[in-house]
Amino acid sequence: MANEDYTGTEGYIGARVKKIRVKKDMTQQHVADLCGLSKGMISKIECGKVMPTIATLTKIAHALQVKVSLLMEDGSERIPACQSTSISPMRFTATDVGYRFFSLAAEYGDKSIQPLIFYASNTEVNSHRVSHEGEECIFIIEGEMVFNINESSYFLKQGDFLYFDGRQPHGIEKVEHEVRYLNIFTAGEYASQVFIDN
């Protein structure tokens, strides 16, 4: 089972990025070039000083040729994972654009899809656009927000569902007070071939 004290924290994710990069004999500059980031940003991520967006983590995973779940979780079991979605926002990991996320089914290793619960409030989140490989869907658990995909705005409220190509620029445009939503995206084509010693 995943160690919940570390799963999703900036330092934990950064340390996993670094371990995989080193095992693959890649420099920070090489990973940065493949991701379209600066070497300094990769260094800040690895040191736990910055928590990037999920889209950036997906790009890093692609550059390292691993599934994004390998960067976020230490799961190795292939057994059913059952978890409540009513998790306190304080247990979520904050990103550099103001939303928070919590990785569901962290104990389930080598996922083909990545399920996350996102939380955003109008006082914390910054309007932003990201893109990444794969497909993505959103289901609003509670609250309301305006989500932008390729310059088209979608007003989403409790019970609404949105499915789209992750390569299109997308992101939160505006949050009405607070919103909590389920976000599922394809985790990538790479098998988790790198083993991390915890």
Q: Tens digit of pLDDT for each residue in 94-134? A: 888 888 888 888 777 777 888 999 999 999 888 888 888 88
Whether 193 has a pLDDT exceeding 60, the answer reads no
> Among candidates 7, 2, 64, 8, which has minimal Cα distance to 33?
64
Higher pLDDT, 64 or 192: 64
CB 184 within 8 A of CB 141: no
CB 130 within 8 A of CB 53: yes
pLDDT of amino acid 131: 85
CA distances from 55 to 58, 82, 103, 129, 146 (A): 5, 25, 14, 10, 18
**What does the radius of gyration of the chain's CA atoms come to, in whole angstroms?**
16
pLDDT band for 82, please (50, 70, 90 cuts): confident
Round to the nearest angstrom and report the end-to-end CA distance of the chain.
13
The structural domains of the chain, ordered by start, are: 10-72 (1.10.260.40), 89-186 (2.60.120.10)
pLDDT of amino acid 145: 96
pLDDT of amino acid 151: 93
pLDDT of amino acid 142: 95
Summarize the confidence of residues 163-171 as an average pLDDT.
Answer: 93
pLDDT digits (tens, 9 = 90+) for 31-78: 999 999 999 999 999 998 888 888 888 889 889 988 887 887 766 666
CA distances from 116 to 23, 85, 112, 133, 192 (A): 27, 9, 13, 17, 19
Cα–Cα distance, 22 to 17 (Å, whole number) = 9
- The least confident of 26-35, 42-51, 139-148 is 42-51
